[in-house]
Homo-oligomer: A and B are copies of this chain.
Amino acid sequence: MKAVVYHGPRNVSVDEVPDARIEKPTDALVRITSTNICGSDLHMYEGRTDFEEGRIFGHENVGEVVEVGDAVEKVHVGDMISAPFNVSCGHCENCEHGLTNYCMYANPDPKIAGAAYGFADMGPWPGGQAELLRVPWADFDALRLPEDARERQDDYVMLSDIFPTGYHAVEMSGLQPGETIVILGGGPVGQMAALSAITKGASKVMVVDRHPDRLRLAEEIGAMPIDDSAVNPVETVIQETNGLGADRGAECVGYQAHDPQGHENNSMTLNELVESVRFTGGIGTVGVYVPMDPGGPDDLAKQGKARFEFGNFWFKGQHMGTGQCPVKRYNRHLRSLIAENKVKPSWIVSHDLPLEQAPEAYKHFDAREDGWTKVVLHPGQAA
Contacts and interface: CB of A to CB of B under 8 A. Distances in A.
Interface of A: 24-26, 69-71, 73-74, 89-94, 96-99, 101-102, 104-105, 110, 112-114, 139-140, 172, 176-180, 196, 199-201, 203-204, 243, 255, 266-267, 270, 278-280, 285, 288-293, 300, 303-324, 328, 330, 332-337, 339-340, 342
Nearest to A69: B71
Nearest to A284: B319
A178 B332 contact: yes
Contacts of A200: 177, 200-201
Contacts of A314: 285, 288-290, 322-323
Contacts of A290: 311, 314-315
A282 to B, nearest CB: 9
Contacts of A337: 177-178, 201, 203
Contacts of A288: 314
A382 B101 CA distance: 48
A26 B137 CA distance: 11
6 contacts: A89-B139, A90-B140, A178-B337, A179-B336, A255-B311, A317-B324
Nearest to A139: B91
Given A178-B337, A300-B307, A323 B328 contact: no
Given A280-B113, A289-B315, A322-B313, A199 B172 contact: no
A94 B243 contact: no
Nearest to A71: B71
Contact of A310 (B177, B243, B267): B267
B201 A342 contact: yes
A311 B90 CA distance: 26
A176 to B, nearest CB: 6
3 closest pairs, A vs B, by CB?
A178-B333, A317-B323, A304-B311
Given A177-B200, A292-B311, A318-B322, 10 more contacts: A25-B70, A90-B139, A93-B332, A179-B336, A201-B337, A203-B340, A289-B313, A308-B308, A313-B322, A317-B324
Contacts of A267: 310
